[in-house]
Structure 1
């Protein structure tokens, strides 16, 4: 597949799907928090990796300001996904395995081992995106731009497949065997190293096309200070950043 093959033929700026309240209230109320977290995080990274690839294909190859915006966004999503993988590897899957009945242990351990190997390959591809971003910023050429777009598209395809498999394999197990107390302990121990403004940006991206139940769950799970920061400045900054990046407001 050539770089030209990913070029967007439409003049319209690509955007994520419109938000939709596709979780009926009774169903949303019954979704365990660990499952909701996985689902929201997965749809965020799937959407944004593919979106930044689309945006890069029509970006001027030598516009340093535009390059900085796109590569910074890809860097943010890369950081989020690498942190997510580390949390799964170090906390979520070990907690799940501890809670599984003995007759499910062997099968689940084999699945986690396979996930770990595949995840390492995905993380390597994410670092390839970072390398391509730096090269574009230096070279300012169409070929460097297309290499960055292709790296984003390549990892987006991989993440689409891996998260779909993860949702089939692990989410039912998380829903059945990882309790709210276990998840609360994981959430407390997982430390995000992003600056506060970037954390609010990620919050906006997570809320953008989440259903009503997941949006409520995400916001209710935040400390009061974070909800306050989102309401009084965070949401406004998020929307302004999205407009600069995409050329139009977020879907929701």
Structure 2
């Protein structure tokens, strides 16, 4: 009977502790979520990059949740300071095991605050290129031209040569015309086509001129600027319109030709 009373007392005691711990965790999670939402709304009113805003929100939520865990541990009678000291010793081994994770973390923070590129810009690095979709703490995600996602660990980015195209790119189109063509007429037709295309930016101004005197044609270089999402469709549209306009205007696009002289042996 005495043992039963002790068991009931222990069940009641630890049951109450477990219930209060769960209640504290629930309250902490609610406070962390509410604080994160409030922080996000407040920072949205300030001109700030999305990755930095996301980082600050996560830090606020993490601090509140960590404080909640400490309160829960104390609820079970666990001494916090000896535990912290023990974790400090164990942290050396854990740190060595998670070295790559920490390198990605520090690299991510460096990218977020130094801003070598931003979300929406087109970059080329490590043989990969694409539009920056997200800059997270550990990785950076690029959207490739074929709509696939390239995920790069942040530690691979720091210290590498980076080509940042920004949010616009310059098309590099080439169209050949016959040597007998009126070049002024041909270039005027190309300028009209480029100016009429809604995907093409007028500032910076398109670059149109003679690129090369080839064996069978005079090659015109057509280099307009377009927003990143319009890079591929604008190229297809411009080529098609140029071909149609040249056919209408009677401007010849020649194909490679060779003259063969037959010498009669005497």
TM over 0.5: no
TM, length-normalised to structure 2? 0.26
User: Which protein, 1 or 2, shows the higher relative CO under an 8 Å CA cutoff with sep ≥ 6?
Assistant: 1
TM, length-normalised to structure 1? 0.28
Higher strand share: 2
Higher helix share: 1
